[in-house]
A and B are shown apart, each in its own frame.
Chain A
Amino acid sequence: MSTPDFTSSGLRRRRAVNRLMELLAWACAAIAVGILGIVVFSVARRGAGAFNLDLLTKTPVPFALGPVKQGLANAFVGTIVIVGFAALMALPIGILVALYLIEFARPAVRNVVTLALDVLNGIPAIVIGIFVFGLFVVGRGQSGFAGAFALGCLMLPLVARSTMEVLVLVPTSLREASLGLGVPRWRTTLSIVLPQTIGGIVTGATLGVARVAGETAPLLFTSSIVGTQVSWNPSHALQTVPVAIFELSESPDPADHTRAWAAATVLLLFILFASLGARWLATRSRRKLEAAR
């Protein structure tokens, strides 16, 4: 028996195709990263001129032309208040919905509600905005609460879905261990399942907050007719960062444009740090979960 010939005539071509495809895949990955890089870079570069402490701490000077524009403190405070109230509404409901669906609901119910959450997640923000406009703003006027409610509607499915995802990661064997001792279901959920998922729930909440902090459309309907004063009172309309960016970009004054870019940089940095923080928490809790398997 002779040794087979291991050198194939097509080998050279195959290697070339392989290298080409690898390069192509690499290029696509580079494009994805590149787009993010370009966005961050161009926003930061254009906003650099107005990116200073005054932007965060001072209020805008109305009708001022030229460089005396001061800051956007009212917008940052407004965003904190509105997103804060949105989180207060969406987090408890979202987490409880997820707990119900994963721990208690029958599969049929779970499927229907999960689908509903996915559809809710897919509703364009402007539709939510106009819905809340019709519900709360018409006849009563704009308010921070209305804005928070709109953002809460957007956050709810994000929180619920991400919480569901970490809950299914908790091994059934852990629940059985507790139930097998004669511990009631609610106690098992509270003391055994939830602690395992805190990291993941915080991650989902953080990503939800980061996501709605940049929403503009619903706030245009619900909280956009505002003064320049810093206000923590959500029963009035409050200025917010995305709406401020939108309004400043419409201004004829180039200095306003710079401030819009600077505000956008702050928003980007917030989202960046929130995502990194969420990532860190997620890795930590996943490691804990895997150890428990």
Chain B
Amino acid sequence: MTMEAENVSTIETALRVETKRLPLPPRERLEQVFDIQDLDAIYGSKPAVKGVTMEIYKNLVTAIIGPSGCGKSTFIRCLNRMNDLIPGFKQTGTVRYHGQDIGGGDVDPVAVRRTIGMVFQRPNPFPKSIYDNVAWGLRVLRMKDSLDERVERALTQAALWDEVKDRLKASALSLSGGQQQRLCIARAIAVEPDVVLMDEPASALDPIATQAIEQLMHDLKSEYSFVIVTHNMQQAARVADMTAFFSISTGAEGERWGELVEYDDTTKIFTAPSDKRTEDYVTGRFG
């Protein structure tokens, strides 16, 4: 079996496992969370992403896939104003969240991030106890009522409670990488965001920890909307309802930027992509 064929067959297996889920209702019946129009993201004078137009829907898992350097992370960080922290960063176009423009200068990025949470590529628990990692955000954001229950619920949702319930006072840094990442997810969902953005949440984890995180997205998508960046196509095929493929374009003078090539049902992206570049990428012929 050639590598290419093997690649395709694993994706097909992944998709087949997912056929248990119901087919997606037609787009117009889905509720929009994000409406992104002609988004450009620029570092200094270097565009990282150009002209992205897409809609992201409620209670779905939306995956962003694509090769390294195609601006997946930059894009997802535009959705909760995380790029504001980078000096020299600019974005143009509009990002609407439930109809409200969240990209503008008169929008409070803190309030945006409060509603649109984020889980990062590398687990980044606070150097505090396991309990305090979850509880700190709740305390700061004045969600102090029934703190213990909230912490337990978040840890349970993140599929970590059984592993840590006897050592909540222990340092979060004593957990394994996979546990730390689930703790970060618990921390993010404890403050009850509406959307959870995940920037390659499993790239530093082993397959078992990865599976736990994928399962958790599956279980929680009825309550939250997930947007996940991944370079792992099997992962996208396993967890995502919708998949967006980003690629790198090269301009006349050799300048490179990322752009959205194709955005569709995950099954369609992996089995019947309409763009040649998508097909090359998902069949492993990219290069």
Chain A residues close to B by CB (< 8 Å): 106-107, 171, 173-185, 187, 191-192, 196, 288, 291-292
> A residues within 8 A CB of B141?
181-183
Q: Do B125 and A291 touch across chains, with their CB atoms under 8 A apart?
A: no
Let me know if B54 is at the binding interface, CB within 8 A: no
A180 and B113 in contact, given A173-B120, A187-B140, A191-B140 (Cβ under 8 angstroms): yes
Give B102-144 as 1s and 0s: 1 = Cβ < 8 Å from A's Cβ atoms: 0000000011111101111010111100000000110011000
B110 touches A177 (CB 8 A): no
Q: Are the C-beta atoms of B124 and A179 separated by less than 8 Å?
A: no
**Nearest 8 A-B pairs (CB), nearest first?**
A182-B114, A180-B118, A173-B124, A292-B127, A181-B137, A182-B113, A177-B124, A184-B110
Q: How far is the CB of A284 from chain B (nearest CB, A)?
A: 13
Given A107-B87, A176-B82, A176-B85, A183–B124 Cβ distance below 8 Å? no
Dominant secondary structure of chain A at its interface with chain B:
helix
Rounded to whole angstroms, the CA-CA distance of A181 and B184 in the bound complex is 10
How far in angstroms is the closest Cβ of chain B from A282? 17
Residue of B with least CB distance to A108: B87
Q: B139-167: which residues lie under 8 A (CB-CB) from chain A? A: 140-141
Q: Are B125 and A177 in contact (CB under 8 A)?
A: yes
Contacts of B126 in A (CB 8 A): 174, 177-178, 192, 292
Which residues of chain B from 186 to 200 have a CB within 8 Å of any chain A CB?
187-188, 191, 193
The answer to whether B127 and A183 touch across the interface, beta carbons within 8 angstroms, is: no
Q: How far is the CA of A177 from the CA of B191 in the complex (A)?
A: 13
Give min CB distance, A109 to chain B, whole Å: 10
B117 lies within 8 A of A181 (CB): yes
Of the listed residues B111, B115, B127, B188, the one surrounded by the most CB atoms of chain A closer than 10 A to its CB is B127
Q: Nearest A residue to B86 by beta-carbon distance? A: A172
Q: Does B173 contact A (CB under 8 A)?
A: yes
Q: Which chain A residues border B87 with CB–CB below 8 Å?
A: 106-107
Query: Which chain A residues border B191 with CB–CB below 8 Å?
Result: 181-182
- Is A180 touching B82 in the complex (CB atoms < 8 A)? yes
Q: Give Cα distance in the complex from A262 to B277, angstroms.
A: 81
* Chain B: CB-nearest residue to A181: B137
Q: How far is the CB of A122 from chain B (nearest CB, A)?
A: 27
Q: How far is the CA of A185 from the CA of B184 in the complex (A)?
A: 19
With a cutoff of 8 Å between Cβ atoms, the chain B residues found around residue A107 in the complex are 87
Contact present for A179 and B140 (CB under 8 Å): no
Q: List B residues 68-122 near A (Cβ within 8 Å).
A: 80, 82, 85, 87, 110-115, 117-120, 122
A171 to B118 CA separation, bound complex (whole angstroms)? 17
Please, which residue of chain B has its CB at the minimum distance from the CB of A188?
A: B140
Residues B85 and A291 in contact, CB atoms below 8 Å apart: no
Known A107-B87, A191-B140, A291-B173; contact A180-B120, beta-carbon cutoff 8 A: yes
In the complex, what residue of chain A is closest to B81 when comparing beta carbons? Answer: A179
Q: With contacts A106-B87, A174-B126, A288-B127 known, is A180 near B80, CB below 8 A? A: yes
B residues in contact with A192, CB < 8 Å: 126
Q: Which residues of A contact B112 (CB under 8 A)?
A: 182
Q: Cα distance A187–B126 when bound, in Å?
A: 14
The residues of B that contact A184 with a CB separation of less than 8 Å are 110
Contacts of B80 in A (CB 8 A): 180
- Distance in angstroms from B203 CB to nearest chain A CB is 14
